[in-house]
Every structure is written in structure tokens, then in C-alpha cells.
Amino acid sequence: MEAIGERINGQFLDVKKAIKDCDAQVIKDHAINQTKAGAAWLDINTGTAAAEPEDAMKWLVTTVQEACNTPIALDSQKLPVVKAGLEVVRRDVPLMLNSVSADPEKLDEWFPLAKEYDAAIVCLTMDKDGISQDVNRRIENCTTIVGKALEYEIGLDKIYIDPVVLPISVGQNQPQMIFEVLGQLPQLFGPEIASTCGLSNISNGCAERPLINRIMLTMLAAHGMKSAIVDVYDKDLMDAWITADLLQNKMIYNDSYLDSARQ
Amino acid sequence: MAQVPDVKESFSTQVHTLTIGAAADEGGTRSHKLTVGGAKVTPFAHFDGDAGAKPVCALEVQNRDPVDWPDAVREPWKDVLTDPVAWAKKCVDEHGAELLCLKLAGCDPDNEDLGPGDAAATVKSVLEAVKVPLIVLGCGNHEKDNAVFEKVSEAGKGERLLLGFAEAENYKKLVALCQADGHALIALAPLDIALGKQLAQEISNLEFPMDRVASFQTTGALGYGMEYTYSIQERQRLAALGGDKMMMTAVLATIGHEAWRAKEARLPESEAPELGPEAVRGPMWEAMTGVSLLMAGTDILICRHPDAFKAMRSFIDKMQG
């Protein structure tokens, strides 16, 4: 179980306001509290509203890394914003870049950076034509990604395939396709290849958000998903994830297994 | 020539180190301290990475004449069986033991029912007579052990004893004593890894550090359930290397106690001529139990027969010199 905490994101109003006011405490609290709640990584996203996203990214990265040693994920599809984060990032803490699409020319821009910083990198199974409705096309995109990773000599344990979760209210056939892609990843590319997704998007616009998130996460886990960007403050969600790990024999049962997993 | 692929197994976490005994620099009176654990790989897989400290062997001493021991294991100790201090000295002086295990079997109400003061005096005398680190085991009667350990813990304060056993239904007292007097403890959960993990969690909840805990699953002897102990230890090591904090404790096995309960070890040659002389067979039964469990991840072995003890030490040196 590898939870990527989603909370340091300018789309949340408190974070948006903190960025605007340079209120470091709000960001530090989220860094520390998400770590305590089980985040293995902290996602950092300036949001779309930041006036100067590069400066905002630098400030967020510095602020988070003053507060804790938790690995961070620089979340932007804009390369200049990610590069701004890289300028100030601590080199003694694991790093993730989030995210790049499966277009070869994009991968050629992003992978050298991942290599240079020994960073994990989230790679979307979508390309410039969008998200294909065909599982084979998505797998083809994975092949493009893996081919480029080999070219740049990036270990597949650093490649986090993101099969792109869409709201269930928009596409009810999507989860099944995601499960199929996940099932094929280790068969095609070996067990070390990683995977992740932005979980909360599954319930965007829905009434039963926590329930949908929770069930989706356990189904993803059952299909081999290795990590997910989630609300780590959702205790029921994290409990469900720990339990999914237990049911997959990834940990040894004891009556207090929820506490033990959180140690 | 084709490149040979790197097949080393690496893990991100490791077994906790556990230290027994404190020398003068730490306020104790031991001549040395012993540290076990710390492995970052499966047992003895030093070709994969850091195999940690060498496992250690203790010789067992009791505060009563162990009349239930068969002759073959009484024989090497026959002149000292009624004197724990002389027995301890013999272990160290004649057999080179670096670690002793004093079992307070004489405190058992079903045996001599020796009192807490008597037990503490014996612990003190042994600590004065020999300078090696000491494990002290209770008699197994919870009520009595709690009273005995109160005195024993105090008598050994600062010596970083390893005390046992903390069990699911009786661990709080021993945890508190070890916390107060700076000792380490043995957490016992009989042949059930889920109970073992739960006990570790509960001890951890009391804010007792896991690097002062040895886990003990009880020991199946060769032919008597050894494979259950083996597979629990194997799972525990893999879980520890996989990041399970409650499974990272060092592991203890009482091979002498268990092996000498087996009829194959006990039976005199006169009753079972086809099994050969018991003076050879018994120690071998004990040693084979120990070798098997070392392969599964045991860090501390408690031996009874000097020949088994010698064999274990020689095996450990060969595997991890």
C-alpha cells in the first residue's frame, strides 16, 4: 500500500488561500498530518488559480520539505512548473514527477529529468488523441512508455502507470477497462512495474463519494494497483485499503492489524 | 560471454538488533554485551546483503536439580546440578559460554516453590560469579513469576537482562519491570503468528521499544512440530524484511528444553538398542533442532547439552564466520 496524499493542492480552498497569503503553517500541517495518516508520498499541486504557478510550486516544495522528510510528488502537466519545483527540491528525499502522457515527444522531455533526479514518474495511458475506449490502445500506450523507459535506462519500479480514472457518472465502462489494463501490466512488463491513479475522480459529481471511492480502491488493489492518490484523512478509506492488503496476504493478520499497519 | 544477471534479493527493512548485557560503560558489571539481529536479508544469505549479527547460544542453568532431565544430559553437569552458581561457572569456564540462561524452575509451586527473595539471591550470586550476559526465565506460573520477577528485575538492575516470558494474558507487569530497570524481554505466543504479532502490538502500545523484545513462538523439536516453528519464523523474517514493524523482533528458541522431551533423545540405549547410544543421539537431536531453526531465522538458542552447544557454535561460525 502506497498512499499518495492529495491534500496539498491549490484546488482546495484552504491551500489556495495559503498559497495566496504565503501562510506556511497550513501547508506544513497538511504535510505532517497526511504523513501521520499514512501518506507514503505527498502530492504537491499548485492548482490552476495560482497567479505564478512556478513560484507557487517552489514555495510549496520548500515549505513541505521544511516540515517533514516524506517523499513528494511534483504534480503538474506543465513542464516549467515541475522544473521550478526541481530547482528547490531536496535531493535526499525520494521524488516523483506527476504526470506525463504517453506521447513519445512528451516522454522525451520528461524522462531525462526523471533520470537525472532518480525520480519516479507517473505516466498516463492517454495520449494526444485523448483517452482511448479500447483496452488494447491503452496497453499500446503502456508499451510506448516502457520502451522509452528502457531507452532512458529508467527502472520499471520507477514507472507508475496511471490508467486514468474518470467519474463513474461519465463512463460506467471505465473501471472495467482499468482493471483489465492493470491485470496485463505485470504479465507484459514484469512484476516490478508500478501503477497509480487519482482515485477521488471516480466519484466526482456523485452523491455517495466516500463509498464509491472506498469500493473502487479495494477493487483496484485486488487488480494489482500499487498506489493511489487519495484523501488519506478518510479513515474508512485507509482502513479499507489496509484490509484489502490483508485479504491479499500482503501482511500478517493480528486483531489490531489496522493499528499495526499504521505503525 | 553473456552477462550474468544480478539475482540478489534486497529488502528495504531489517530485523531489529537486540542487546543483552551491559558492561561498566553502561552502568552494568558484565564483561561484554551481546547483540543479535540486524539482518537485512534471509538467514545466512550474506551473499545477498548484510546478514546481521551472528546468532548466539546460551547454556541453560536451573535453580533446582532438574530431576526430570534424562541421564544423558544430566551426566555432563552431574557435579553442579544442585548449585546454580557452580553450574554457571562450569558453563563459562569449561565450555566457554558467552551467554547464560538461568531458568527459575525451582520457583514453581509444583517443584520446590522457592520464594522471590531466594530467586533474586541466586540471580545476584550468578551475576557475581560469572560476567557473561544473562537470560532469566520464570517458572511458568504467572502469579509466581510476577512476584519473582519483581525481585529479580531489581536485583539485576542495570545489567540489561533478557527476561521471559511476557504472554498475552500476563505481559504488563514484566513490561513495566523491564521499563523501570532497563531490561529486555521475551514475548511468548505459542505457535501462532497472529497472536505473536498482536502481543508485539500490545507491548508496543505500552511504549516499550521493539528493539528490546525477543519473540518466542515456543519451539517444536525435531519430529515434534519443528516445522510449525520453522514456518512461523520464516514468515516472520519475510514480514520483517517487508516492512512489518511488529515482526522485526529478534527470535529465540529453547532447543534444549524441547529436544530432550522427545523420546528419540531420551530413551536409553538399553530400551531402544536400534537407536544407538543416547549420549550421542540426544545431543544430536538437540543440535539438529537448532540447525533447522537457525535456517529459519532464530537469533538466540538456549542449549542444554555441551556437545549440542559446541555443535551449534561451530555451525554458526561456518555459516557466518
Give the pLDDT mean for A143-154: 97
Task: Tell me whether residues A252 and B235 touch, CB distance under 8 A.
Answer: yes
For A39-71, the pLDDT digits (tens) are 999 999 999 877 899 999 999 999 999 999 999
Looking at residue B223, what is its pLDDT? 86
Say which CATH number the domain at A110 has.
3.20.20.20
Q: What are phi and psi of B39, to 5 degrees?
A: -65, 140
Helices (H), chain A: 13-21, 24-36, 53-67, 79-88, 104-116, 135-151, 174-189, 209-222, 235-247, 257-262
- Chain A residues close to B236, C-beta within 8 Å: 252
Q: What is the mean pLDDT of chain A?
A: 96
A259 touches chain B (CB under 8 A): yes
For the segment B153-160, the average pLDDT, to the nearest whole number, is 97
Determine, for residues A253 and B201 on separate chains, whether the beta-carbon distance falls below 8 Å.
no
Kindly list the domain boundaries of chain B, sorted by start residue: 22-319
Please write the tens of the pLDDT for every residue from B224-270: 899 999 999 999 999 999 999 999 999 999 999 999 999 999 999 99
Strands of chain B, DSSP E: 17-20, 34-37, 56-62, 100-103, 134-137, 162-167, 184-188, 213-216, 250-253, 300-303
Q: How far apart are CA B305 and CA B61, in angstroms?
A: 11
Q: Residue A35 and residue B151: Cα distance in Å, rounded?
A: 43
pLDDT for B7: 82
At residue A99, the pLDDT reads 95
Is residue A139 domain-shared with residue A165, that is, in the same domain? yes
Q: Domain of residue A226: give its range.
A: 94-263
Does A123 share its domain with A7?
A: no
Q: Where a domain ends, among A93, A127, A161?
A: A93
pLDDT over 90 for what percent of chain B?
93
**What is the number of CB-based contacts under 8 A between chain A and chain B?**
36
Do A39 and A100 reside in the same domain of the chain?
no
Instruction: Label residue B219 by pLDDT band (50, 70, 90).
Output: confident
Interface contact flag, A263 B247, Cβ < 8 Å: no
Residues A75 and A122 in one domain: no
Residues of B in contact with A259 (CB under 8 A): 201, 205
Q: How many domains does chain A have?
A: 2
For an interface test with A, which of B192, B201, B207 has the most A Cβ atoms less than 10 Å from its Cβ?
Answer: B201
Are residues A156 and A53 part of one domain? no
Q: Are B290 and B303 in contact (CB under 8 A)?
A: yes
Rounded Cα gap, residues A17 and B77, in angstroms: 78
Question: Are A253 and A123 members of one domain?
Answer: yes
pLDDT at B275: 94
Please check whether residues A82 and A103 belong to one and the same domain. Answer: no
| B195: chain A residues, CB-CB within 8 Å | 254
Contact check, Cβ <8 Å, A260/B201: yes
Interchain proximity B201–A259, CB inside 8 Å: yes
For residue B198, the distance in angstroms to the closest alpha carbon of chain A comes to 5
The pLDDT of residue A238 is 97
Tens-place pLDDT, residues B264-321: 999 999 999 999 999 999 999 999 999 999 999 999 999 999 999 999 999 999 998 7
Among A192, A215, A241, smallest CA distance to A2 is for A241
- Judgement on whether residues A72 and A145 belong to the same structural domain of the protein: no
* Residue in chain B nearest A259 by alpha carbon: B201
pLDDT at B84: 98
User: What's the length of chain B?
Assistant: 321
Say whether both A209 and A81 belong to one domain: no
Identify the CATH number of the domain defined by range B22-319.
3.20.20.20
Query: Do A13 and A54 fall within a single domain?
Result: yes
Asked if the model's pLDDT at residue B149 lies above 90, the reply is yes
Select from A28, A59, A93 the last residue of a domain: A93
| Per-window interface: A 219-258 vs B, CB < 8 A | 251-257
Contact flag B194-A256 (C-beta cutoff 8 Å): no
**A255/B246 Cβ within 8 A:** no
In this prediction, residue A51 carries a pLDDT of 82
Query: Mind giving me the DSSP string for B303-319?
Result: E-SHHHHHHHHHHHHHH
pLDDT attached to residue B1 = 59
pLDDT at residue A49 in the model: 74
Indicate if A43 and A156 belong to the same structural domain.
Answer: no
Q: So what's the ipTM on this one?
A: 0.82
Who among B201, B205, B236 is closest to A254 (CB)? B201
Q: Which residues contact A122 (CB under 8 A, 6 or more apart)?
A: A73, A96, A97, A98, A99, A100, A160, A162, A196
